[in-house]
Amino acid sequence: MSKRKDIRMEILKHYFSIQDNVATLNLVYDTFAELINSNFGGDNIEKLNDKLFSDIYEAVSLLPKKFKLNLHIVINDFGDHTKKECEEIVKQNISLVAYRTIKAYNQKLTSGWSLIGAGAVILILSYLLRDHDLWFDLINISGTLFVWEGVNMAFLERNLEHKAIKKLISSIQNISIESGEQQ
């Protein structure tokens, strides 16, 4: 291993338990209630706030590409929930995050293509008005900007987000929840 990799691995070993290409991270929370967004839905809906997911994103972003992540979530006090209920709530919320990501992805794709279409129409209009130098230049620049912004949204930004989600999904190997109470 190179000296740079050795230094990086030493830093990571300070925060993760590393064996082969699998890193294990313990996320410890005092109560399950601190992970719940109490302002969302009714009494029978438990939506997690972004605290757990931001911790997961941060952990994945720290790891080298070929590493897998085992998340070991330790909750000291489940409160009114059982361990099984907490595991189900986490699974449901992961599905909700996936749905939200896909929805945002589709909206960005639609917006990008709309801008490309509007830009194409504006560029055609600029072609028709090419005899009027000032209007031609203004409309041509506007159309070019619309097309460029649409291409950026539909292809470039979308691919970056898609790669980030793929990395997140492929990196997580296992999620376990456990009580931190000493019995």
Task: Extract the tokens encoding 90.
Answer: 């986490």
> How many domains, in total, are found in the chain?
1
Question: Residue 183: its pLDDT value, please?
Answer: 41
Let me know if residue 155 belongs to a domain.
yes
Question: Residue 13 falls within a domain, yes or no?
Answer: yes
**Domain span including residue 29:** 8-179
Q: What is the pLDDT of residues 21-31, one digit of tens each?
A: 888 888 888 88
State the SS3 of 31-72.
EHHHHECCCCCCCCCCCECHHHHHHHHHHHHHCCCCCEEEEE
Residue 1 is predicted with a pLDDT of 57
Is position 25 within any domain?
yes
HSE value, Cβ hemisphere, 13 Å, CA-based, for 169: 11
70 and 25 Cβ atoms separated by less than 8 Å: yes
Residue 2 lies in a domain: no
What global pTM score does this model have?
Answer: 0.61
The 10s digit of each residue's pLDDT in 64-80 is: 878 888 888 888 888 88
* Domain annotation covers residue 1: no
How high does pLDDT run on average in the chain?
Answer: 78
Percent with pLDDT over 90 in the chain:
0
Which three-class secondary structure string do you get for the chain?
CCHHHHHHHHHHHHHCEEECCEEEEEEEEEEHHHHECCCCCCCCCCCECHHHHHHHHHHHHHCCCCCEEEEEEEEEECCCCCHHHHHHHHHHHHHHHHHHHHHHHHHHHHHHHHHHHHHHHHHHHHHHCCCCHHHHHHHHHHHHHHHHHHHHHHHHHHHHHHHHHHHHHHHEEEEEEEECCCC
Q: What is the pLDDT of residues 107-166, one digit of tens each?
A: 888 888 888 888 888 888 777 777 777 767 777 788 888 888 888 877 776 665 556 566
Question: Is it the case that residue 57 has pLDDT exceeding 60?
Answer: yes
Tell me the pLDDT band of 45, cut-offs 50, 70 and 90: low
Note whether residue 66 is domain-resident. Answer: yes
Distance, in Å, from the CA atom of 16 to the CA atom of 69, rounded to the nearest integer, reads: 9
Tell me whether residue 105 is in a domain: yes
> Within a domain: residue 3?
no
